[in-house]
Amino acid sequence: MFKSTLSRLAFLMLYALYFPTWAQAQDLNFNKGWRFYNAKAEGAEKPDFDDSQWRALDLPHDWAIEGPFDVKYNARSGGLPFHGTGWYRKTFKVPASATGQKVRIEFEGAMYNAHVWVNGQFVGNRPFGYIGFEYDITDKLHFDGTDNVVAVRLTPEDLSSRWYPGAGLYRSVWLKIDAPIHVAHWGTNVTTPTVSDAKAVVQVETTVQNSSSQSAEVVVRQAFFSPSNEPVGEVEESLTLPAGTSAVSGLYANIQKPLRWDLETPSLYKAVTTILKDGKEIDRYETRFGIRTIRYTTEGFYLNDRLVRFNGVCLHHDNGALGAAVYRRADERKLQIMKDMGVNAIRTSHNPPSRELLELCDEMGLMVLDEAFDVWKIPKVPNGYNLFFEEWAERDLKDMIRRDRNHPSIVMWSIGNEILEQADKKNGWKKAQMLNEYVKQMDLTRPSSAGFNNYPGPFDFNMAQQVDIAGMNYKPSKYSEEIENYPGLPIYGSETSSVTSSRGVYHLPIEKYKTHESKQVTSYDIIGPPWAYPPDIEFHFQELNPKVMGEFVWTGFDYLGEPTPYGGKDNSTNGYWNADWPARSSYFGAVDLCGFPKDRFYLYQSQWTTKPMIHLLPHWNWKGMEGKNIPVYCYTNCDEAELFLNGKSLGRKVKGKDLTEILIDFSRYEPKTFQSKYRLSWDVPYQPGTLKVVGYKAGKVALEQTMVTAGKPAKISLSVDRPEIDADGRDLAYVTIRIEDKDGNLCPEADNLVDFDLQGAGELVAVDNGNAATVESFQASYRKAFSGQCLAILRASEHSGQMTLKATSKKLKGAEIVIQTK
């Protein structure tokens, strides 16, 4: 958490002109006014280096997403230039009134292998790109009004990641000015040892740092505030701090009738820590927290003493066309879409997430499995984290927990995913034990976990037993066997399904294939790599084994890189996945790279939500297929569904009774077909017109959906996720572009090229269409439609007004939309 935040260093300087000493510690957003150079630059760490020809930009910034896509780059990592050398420099002044204060610089994430200099003096190196870090730079600064220069060199390497990692200073940077006695970095730890409806005991441990040369007596005061910002308690204690040391203050308060943090009511409290010396406030630090209980047994996972199943998804950290650069609105939209699918839990695959994502999960009532590593010592790619594991694993894991421990959304810590040490009978378990001990040294309130894909190896070799809850990747048919053989070890599906699909694409006849010449994957939701299986299989085995805590689907969203089933083989260490270029991003998501739901989104929604819903597939444009059977699927949470073609009933079917046979073929499972009770289906002789499905609950019509054979593309339709956004220079508006016929029906196979023109208080920052096999630039002023749709992402300026987006295409009627910025 942060101290009071100001948006400009200039404001801080004005403040200093009027006040001879610093009245309060400040955390200053340091994202403005950097210069960037994407190549080696000899001597760029020196303060007198001439960077006037470098590119001026603001952070966060991901240089690789700018492209271009190129077959010389690894499609496994997105086919983008994420490796090489990048330099960032910033020139700034610190006023003389800051003399005697402590000045630190914090990087929330730097991808990767960051080396930092201040005024030409080396400050430090941090290899892991996913974890934040800070340095005390006080003794390297000029306080006499002359310029200071911070320089950062990043050297991400090829073959260092199994997916697209991004590149650059892709998360925020902060300049932190404190009194010599202050709350340490990530220095509070809030826990709730006792919680009842009547009262909660809230305990706060605060690490106070004395960086001065003298011993000091201070008072640590904790004030607590309710979700409505009402004071609900205050306690304090005296602390003696010898020079150059730190000490931990331990305080607790009783909060009456606490409001629980829960999935539907994510109530958030605030602890305000104040450090006083000689009666004067010298530091203030705010920590947001939640009051809730978690516990786990072999019978399941309990949140606030209520059994809860994980309806979870795995999410990578990129935001599609925006790359790895952190935008709060991008993460918020992503999580909103997931909640609409019925998701209640997120697995941060496979690395520490951004601060913004965790704050949003706190606010939105989403549980989080916070994951540290994809690899330990044994490599999956030659230049991965394995190079740094021995030296940095303890620090990185502990820093993740120290940073994230106050987020009530986090319910588990994961020490790794599909670690190749699973096969090491002799020593694999020892490394797991070591990492688990690090977790317990930092936090005893949450269970540890890991994702194991090599069942029964890690269970038989004593590795799974080193964590509190064992995750099983892609082994649903083994759940009952694990429960019988290891009755004391709780489990959940840490990665499930792994089905692939392309939004709006349907291949007939329905058949199991490895790849398709189109570089697309049918959206009938049956195709996947050898370990993968349709969602129906996981639903089935979770029902048969209610002690399994739930699942985390691979994945919620498509992501850049790993274009399975095209290009290569997972966990291979022999290089490139470019055999099926231009396939360069994931097909795994229930939602595509734009955030547009695929059909599978609705299959999960039919299982994970209760509000009546119904969804039909495929589209109904099959020219040349007249009279031939088209398999029509219906995903619904209604009791029954009835299908009509041009007003004629094709039959009413009962969910759970009328089964749909689907093709399957995955590892360690013999049958090649599965009778699914989770899908309703009809074989419909095609004729153009109107296909309608009606859903019934308790015998009464609940809702219906209509699909119409579209005519020729005639016009563009625009819609925006929010008509009004903040004029803060970072807020985003997502505009969906649809290609429609003259009657407003989506043309499901349209691929028209759309040109964009934006006028007003903002800029067009990215475009996309969800096609995983194209090398069109994300940073163009045009985009082809894919399956009838594409996306434009607009960013507000810092001036209120309005943005007007115009979209045009040859032979189509254009459209425009206005977004207000305030």
Distance CA 588, CA 556 (A): 8
- Say if CB 489 and CB 297 are below 8 A apart: no
- The tens digit of pLDDT for each residue in 156-168 reads 999 999 999 999 9
In this predicted structure, the answer to whether residue 21 has a pLDDT above a threshold of 70 is no
Is 595 inside any structural domain?
no
Among residues 495, 494, 438, 496, the alpha carbon closest in space to that of 466 is found at 438
pLDDT > 70 in the chain, percent? 96
Instruction: Please compute, for residue 134, the number of CA atoms within 13 A of its CA located in the half-sphere on the CB side.
Output: 21
| Residue 690 bridge partners (DSSP) | 708
Q: Is there a single domain that holds both residue 45 and residue 148?
A: yes
Phi, psi of 394 (to 5 degrees): -60, -50
In this predicted structure, the answer to whether residue 3 has a pLDDT above a threshold of 60 is no
CATH of the domain at 493: 3.20.20.80
Q: Is 484 part of the annotated catalytic residue set?
A: no
Q: Is there a single domain that holds both residue 326 and residue 389?
A: yes
Distance CA 76, CA 70 (A): 12
Q: Which two tokens stand for residue 412?
A: 């588990």
Dmax of the chain from CA atoms? 90
Domain boundary among 289, 318, 333: 289
Structure confidence at residue 302 (pLDDT): 98
pLDDT (mean) for 1-5: 47
Q: Is there a single domain that holds both residue 48 and residue 112?
A: yes
pLDDT (mean) for 561-581: 85
1 CB neighbour count, 10 Å cutoff: 21
Domain boundary among 179, 201, 234: 179
Structure confidence at residue 98 (pLDDT): 86
Helix (H, G, I), strand (E, B) or coil at 78: coil
pLDDT (mean) for 430-444: 98
Which residue in the list 108, 356, 371, 495 is annotated as catalytic? 495
Instruction: Please compute, for residue 599, the number of CA atoms within 13 A of its CA located in the half-sphere on the CB side.
Output: 27
Q: Is there a single domain that holds both residue 113 and residue 187?
A: no
**Run of H or E including 362:** helix 355-364
Is 312 inside any structural domain?
yes
Mean pLDDT of the chain: 95
Domain boundary among 156, 179, 202: 179
Residue 17: pLDDT band with limits 50, 70, 90: very low
CATH of the domain at 21: 2.60.120.260
- The tens digit of pLDDT for each residue in 611-645 reads 999 999 999 999 999 999 999 999 999 999 999 99
In this predicted structure, the answer to whether residue 2 has a pLDDT above a threshold of 50 is no
Q: Is there a single domain that holds both residue 647 and residue 556?
A: no
Q: Is there a single domain that holds both residue 390 and residue 534?
A: yes
Long-range contact pairs involving 10-15 (C-beta distance under 8 Å, separation at least 24): 12/95, 12/177, 13/93, 13/95
- The tens digit of pLDDT for each residue in 456-470 reads 999 999 999 999 999
- The tens digit of pLDDT for each residue in 52-110 reads 999 999 999 999 999 999 999 999 999 999 999 999 999 999 978 789 999 999 999 99
Q: Is there a single domain that holds both residue 649 and residue 756?
A: no
In this predicted structure, the answer to whether residue 266 has a pLDDT above a threshold of 60 is yes
Q: Is 418 part of the annotated catalytic residue set?
A: yes
Q: 133: buried, middle or exposed (CB in 10 Å: 19+, 13-18, 0-12)?
A: buried
Which residue in the list 45, 359, 371, 418 is annotated as catalytic? 418
Phi, psi of 307 (to 5 degrees): -65, 125
Is 295 inside any structural domain?
no
Number of H helices, E strands in the chain: 9, 47
Residue 575: pLDDT band with limits 50, 70, 90: confident
Task: Enumerate the H helices of 486-569 as residue ranges.
Answer: 535-544
Q: Which two tokens stand for residue 591?
A: 């939602």
Is 782 inside any structural domain?
yes
Q: Is there a single domain that holds both residue 58 and residue 148?
A: yes
Structure confidence at residue 14 (pLDDT): 34
Is 756 inside any structural domain?
yes
- The DSSP output letter for 585 is B
Distance CA 817, CA 809 (A): 15
Is 729 inside any structural domain?
yes
Structure confidence at residue 26 (pLDDT): 77
Residue 573: pLDDT band with limits 50, 70, 90: low
In this predicted structure, the answer to whether residue 374 has a pLDDT above a threshold of 50 is yes
Is 82 inside any structural domain?
yes
Distance CA 594, CA 585 (A): 12
Structure confidence at residue 683 (pLDDT): 97
In this predicted structure, the answer to whether residue 505 has a pLDDT above a threshold of 60 is yes
CATH of the domain at 689: 2.60.40.10
Phi-psi category of 337—alpha, beta or left, where left has phi over 0 and alpha has psi -120 to 50? alpha
Distance CA 531, CA 609 (A): 27
Instruction: Give pTM, 2 decimals.
Output: 0.95
Residue 20: pLDDT band with limits 50, 70, 90: very low
pLDDT > 90 in the chain, percent? 94
Phi-psi category of 591—alpha, beta or left, where left has phi over 0 and alpha has psi -120 to 50? beta
From residue 325, how far is each of 86, 354, 591, 604 by CA, in Å? 15, 10, 20, 29
In this predicted structure, the answer to whether residue 572 has a pLDDT above a threshold of 70 is no
Q: Is there a single domain that holds both residue 275 and residue 217?
A: yes
Distance CA 604, CA 358 (A): 23
In this predicted structure, the answer to whether residue 5 has a pLDDT above a threshold of 60 is no
- Say if CB 565 and CB 514 are below 8 A apart: yes
CA of residue 500 relative to chain centroid, distance = 19
Residue 25: pLDDT band with limits 50, 70, 90: low
Structure confidence at residue 667 (pLDDT): 86
Q: Is there a single domain that holds both residue 630 and residue 556?
A: no
- Say if CB 636 and CB 613 are below 8 A apart: yes
Structure confidence at residue 23 (pLDDT): 38
Q: Which two tokens stand for residue 230?
A: 């009402």
The boundaries of the domain holding residue 539 are: 307-510+520-566
Among residues 695, 763, 774, the alpha carbon closest in space to that of 735 is found at 763
- Say if CB 522 and CB 505 are below 8 A apart: yes
Q: Which two tokens stand for residue 382?
A: 């030659």
Distance CA 450, CA 466 (A): 9
Q: Is there a single domain that holds both residue 55 and residue 99?
A: yes
Is 609 inside any structural domain?
no
- Say if CB 458 and CB 515 are below 8 A apart: no
The count of domains in the chain is 5
Q: Is there a single domain that holds both residue 349 and residue 409?
A: yes
Radius of gyration of the chain (CA): 28
